Amino acid sequence: MKIIKKRCIDTKDTLKIFSGRSNLTLAQGIVDALGMDLGNVTIRTFADGELWVKYEENIRGQDVFIIQSTNGPADNLIELFLLLDAAVRASAKRVTAVIPYFGYGRQDRKDQPRVPISSRVMVDVITTTGANRIISMDLHSTQIQGFASIPFDHLYSRMVLMDTLKKLDLNPDSCAVLAPDVGSAAMGQSYARSLGVHFALIDKRRYAPNKSEVSHLIGDLEGKDVLIIDDMIDTAGTTVSAAQAAMDKEAKSVTAVATHGVLSDPAIDLLKEAPIKELIITDTISLKKEKQLPKMKIVSVANVFGEAIKRIHNSESVSALFDL
């Protein structure tokens, strides 16, 4: 994929990009794609666990973008809120929260008595701290955009993941996309259409948080190379169960694809033993070395975010990015 070239943006000293500590590697990739440098900001954690932030350069009247994924620990959220507030109080002209992985995205409705709609709370706090815009990628539920009273740009990782999948040189007649649950069916069907391959679906029953089992598998997988595609892999129970179900249906091989590699325990142990030939994820979440597996391929989405930032800064269409 070739989206942008370095030095393609005339910032005229009005664009500043800063990053929290949750994913500095991706943030560096984004500014590299734009031919820029990360802004200078100091972030400290005091002995009592409190956070302190300070912009070490003038941002008055600037178009400020703050990059921070909000996966655990919760300090990543507090860090983002403080960075947003500090930018507003430093008289930035516009402040945009760039959240590659939107934490709490699965808590998007009141599905039990006496529980919060946590994703709404996150959006409300981001808005209250003074953010003028939010950018995120592959939300677990697109309705989260409706929680915001400010512009909310939803980016898609399929631009880079499709390029990676096409390089696998799979035979369309002997390949199938398998949606691991009904919620990922629309995404799976989109990939299947684009790749020109078969589609299959798993009917999953969830009996506890992060606990599920395969009830039915709809589709013919015999002798096929199977692509399991989802927006995220957390504890990996859903992905591993789907992979095993595919192999039980005499699939030839299984490749798992996801945007967000949350990989909470016991994901790594499960994935090591799973009948998965290759695991393809993006770098929206920074993974420690102990969570990186030999069969794991990490694809960068830095160019997608870089192009979106360039378009927003230049008052150009972001949706047109996905028509390229």
Q: Which residues are catalytic?
A: 204
**Are 195 and 174 spatial neighbours (Cβ–Cβ below 8 Å)?**
no
Residue 266's φ and ψ, nearest 5 degrees, are -100, 40
CA separation for the pair 287, 298 (Å, rounded): 10
Give me the helices (H) in 156-282, please. Answer: 158-166, 185-195, 237-248, 267-273
Which residues share a beta bridge with 41? 55
* Three-state DSSP state, 202: strand
Tallying the residues shown for the chain, one arrives at 324
CA separation for the pair 60, 242 (Å, rounded): 51
CA separation for the pair 213, 202 (Å, rounded): 10
CA separation for the pair 243, 226 (Å, rounded): 8
Which residue reads 């912009």 in tokens? Answer: 55
CA separation for the pair 229, 131 (Å, rounded): 32
